[in-house]
Amino acid sequence: MNPALETALAALRQRFVGELPARLGALRQALAALDGAPRDGLEPDRQTARRTAHSLAGAGGTFGFPALGEAARALELRLDALDETPAANAAAELDTLFAALEAQAARAARGRLPAPPAAAAEPEAAVTNRQTRSIALVDDDISFGAHLAAQIGRFGYGVAHYPSLEAFVAALDDGMPPDAIVMDLVFSEGNLAGAEALLAQRLGRLVDTPAVVVSARGDFAARLAAVRAGARAFQTKPPDLSALINTLDALTGDEPQQPYRILVVEDDALLAEHYCRLLEADGMQALALGDPTRALEVAADFAPDLLLTDLDMPGCSGIELAAVIRQLEAYVSLPIVFLSAEKDFDRRVLAMQQGGDDFLAKPVTPQRLIASVRQRAQRHRILRAHMEHDGLTGLLNHSALKERLALELARAARLGSPLSFVMIDLDRFKQVNDNHGHAAGDRVLRALAQLLRDRLRRTDIVGRYGGEEFGVLLPDTDAATAQQVIETIRQAFAAVEHGTGERCFSVTLSAGIAASPPIDNAETLAAAADAALYRSKHAGRNRVSLHQEAPA
């Protein structure tokens, strides 16, 4: 299908979905008036209901919602035959048919993977409980806008495309602001009109709404305008869809931003307390440590975003501490800020050479301390996120996951709590790419990543281990519990329909689980989970296996 036609059809489809609630509302009213009985005087209501059902049947099918069309057709036929059945049955039947139609309309509106059938004794809410997040896409290039809107919509967003700034502002006046905005820059009003519109709205309705600029312009002036308008990201056309979706996910996600964690190493207890209070007052989380020799073990548990350390301490100086910390791979990029009354310039230079990021001279003003710490912690978070995460799925990448495995295993051993590690591999994934294309394959990977994120706890760690391989770390979880959790996920994923219409398909996964205790070594744990995964594959795939100890 040629792209222009595809986008035009997509736009019509969007409109159809948008009008569904109103049409169903009218149908509901007509049915309520009828109440199952074809009395004289109610014939107009019957005809209204019948015609609405008939048109939904036709349109549903035409726009690629066959199930919706069939549900409407069933209701239409029942309304046709209303004279022939006693009133009591009819009312109940019509209710049931209408409920089925509403369910199909809800599915169409969600425009995403349907919720998998609930497993027995499901402890948590179903996967797709999250409300559809709304995106306003403002671009006067009609075909580009419609095309991008359709693409973003495939990832579960409800996208409204506004072909002009006027239309966008008018829509804002009418209703709730969207969850996020994708804004072009160049409009007939001017070459930076998009940014100006954002800025104008920031004081009013859009004060909290995150915006991303997607523009053909990539010059400095354009980027500066975007920054000044408060845009959180900037992409030049054509946008990298994966990156755009990741950005929108991050901007509209419900995970609250975790406070920055600052480890304060200062042997003067009163001073340490003082710094911690200042940082906490600014919304950060601070931990004071008086003994620098314990820094590594404390850092392993606390996972700081920044180390704030005094320079002169008995037992170990701040400079020496920085050098030791930097020996560890995990802390190579950890920001380190020194605090000292040191007036000697050369000593300051030396301190910085040892891997320090800033030097604050005591007595330090609260503003200077907070500003320096916050800015560096924030920068580090952003960089680390880029380094550690897989671009396509937003999950941890292979090396970051392995690091976390070692870290969590050590912590679990210290706390005496169990830890399970799961290796997941999609079954026959090469076939998915071959039969449906790589874009579809990518969407399947993202779908699994999303399902894992939805079904697991905040404290569980999920990573993309390789092409179609995923790794899950479940702290405080023994093997038996892990098996239950992963089994539920296995079933849920197998029930998901990927693709659309005739090209619908499903994908299964195989998994292997290993736990500590008894295994206490990260490499061995990973190998054991892998061996269990291998057994799942060779036993027929689409199953979960536990690592078995080799007979002595």
Sole window of 9-17, 87-95, 321-329, 337-345 interacting with other proteins (rule: CB under 8 A): 9-17
User: Shortest distance, CB of residue 73 to other proteins, whole angstroms?
Assistant: 7
Closest CA to 404 of 396, 393, 394: 396
Burial state string for 20-47 with b = 16 or more CB within 10 A and e = fewer than 16: beebbeebeebbeebebebeeebeebbe
**Contact call for residues 267 and 314 (beta carbons, < 8 A):** yes
9 lines the binding site for other proteins (CB under 8 A) = yes
Q: What's the CA dihedral at 399, 403, 409, 414 to 10 degrees?
A: 180
Contact pick of 25, 37, 43, 55 for other proteins (by CB under 8 A): 55
Sole window of 7-15, 126-134, 313-321, 513-521 interacting with other proteins (rule: CB under 8 A): 7-15
Q: Which is nearer to other proteins, 67 or 118 (CB)?
A: 67
User: Shortest distance, CB of residue 51 to other proteins, whole angstroms?
Assistant: 6
Contact pick of 28, 35, 42, 54 for other proteins (by CB under 8 A): 54
> How many other C-beta atoms can be found within 10 angstroms of the C-beta atom of residue 164?
15
4 lines the binding site for other proteins (CB under 8 A) = yes
User: Shortest distance, CB of residue 61 to other proteins, whole angstroms?
Assistant: 3
Binding residues for other proteins, rule CB under 8 A, total 20
Residue 441: enclosing H or E segment and its boundaries? helix 438-455
62 lines the binding site for other proteins (CB under 8 A) = yes
Q: Which is nearer to other proteins, 63 or 98 (CB)?
A: 63
**107's torsion region: left (phi>0), alpha (psi -120 to 50) or beta?**
alpha
Contact pick of 44, 58, 437, 518 for other proteins (by CB under 8 A): 58
CA distance 147 to 180: 18
User: Shortest distance, CB of residue 59 to other proteins, whole angstroms?
Assistant: 5
22 lines the binding site for other proteins (CB under 8 A) = no
61 lines the binding site for other proteins (CB under 8 A) = yes
CA distance 57 to 66: 8
| CA 306, chain centre distance (Å) | 26
User: Shortest distance, CB of residue 467 to other proteins, whole angstroms?
Assistant: 34
User: Omega before 335 cis (within 30°)?
Assistant: no
Q: Which amino acid is at 441?
A: G
Sole window of 62-70, 294-302, 371-379, 438-446 interacting with other proteins (rule: CB under 8 A): 62-70
Rg of the chain taking only CA atoms, in angstroms: 29
Q: Which is nearer to other proteins, 7 or 201 (CB)?
A: 7
15 lines the binding site for other proteins (CB under 8 A) = yes
Q: Which is nearer to other proteins, 59 or 485 (CB)?
A: 59
Q: Which is nearer to other proteins, 72 or 448 (CB)?
A: 72
User: Shortest distance, CB of residue 50 to other proteins, whole angstroms?
Assistant: 9
DSSP state of 181: E
Q: Which is nearer to other proteins, 73 or 547 (CB)?
A: 73
Beta strands in 237-284 (DSSP E): 261-265
Closest CA to 285 of 301, 310, 302, 270: 302
> How many other C-beta atoms can be found within 10 angstroms of the C-beta atom of residue 400?
20
Q: Which is nearer to other proteins, 50 or 217 (CB)?
A: 50
Contact pick of 5, 22, 176, 270 for other proteins (by CB under 8 A): 5
142 lines the binding site for other proteins (CB under 8 A) = no
CA distance 421 to 158: 36
Residue 288: enclosing H or E segment and its boundaries? strand 285-289
Q: Which is nearer to other proteins, 48 or 483 (CB)?
A: 48
User: Shortest distance, CB of residue 241 to other proteins, whole angstroms?
Assistant: 25
Q: Name the 3-class secondary structure at 235.
A: strand
User: Shortest distance, CB of residue 62 to other proteins, whole angstroms?
Assistant: 4
Kindly report the backbone phi and psi dihedral angles of residue 90, in degrees, each rounded to the nearest multiple of 5, phi listed first: -60, -45
Question: What are the DSSP calls for 123-149, one per residue?
Answer: -S--GGGSPPPEEEEE-S-HHHHHHHH
Contact pick of 51, 202, 347, 541 for other proteins (by CB under 8 A): 51
Q: Which is nearer to other proteins, 55 or 399 (CB)?
A: 55
Contact pick of 31, 34, 53, 59 for other proteins (by CB under 8 A): 59
12 lines the binding site for other proteins (CB under 8 A) = yes
H helices present in 35-164, as ranges: 43-62, 66-80, 87-110, 142-153
57 lines the binding site for other proteins (CB under 8 A) = yes
User: Shortest distance, CB of residue 63 to other proteins, whole angstroms?
Assistant: 7
DSSP state of 207: T
503 lines the binding site for other proteins (CB under 8 A) = no
Residue with tokens 């804004």: 183
User: Shortest distance, CB of residue 30 to other proteins, whole angstroms?
Assistant: 14
Residues in 73-92 at the binding interface with other proteins, rule: CB under 8 A: 73
Closest CA to 154 of 56, 253, 16, 14: 14
Contact pick of 3, 10, 14, 16 for other proteins (by CB under 8 A): 16
Exposed (0-12), middle (13-18) or buried (19+): which is 469, by Cβ within 10 Å?
middle
Residues that bind other proteins (CB under 8 A): 1, 4-5, 8-9, 12, 15-16, 51, 54-55, 57-63, 69, 73
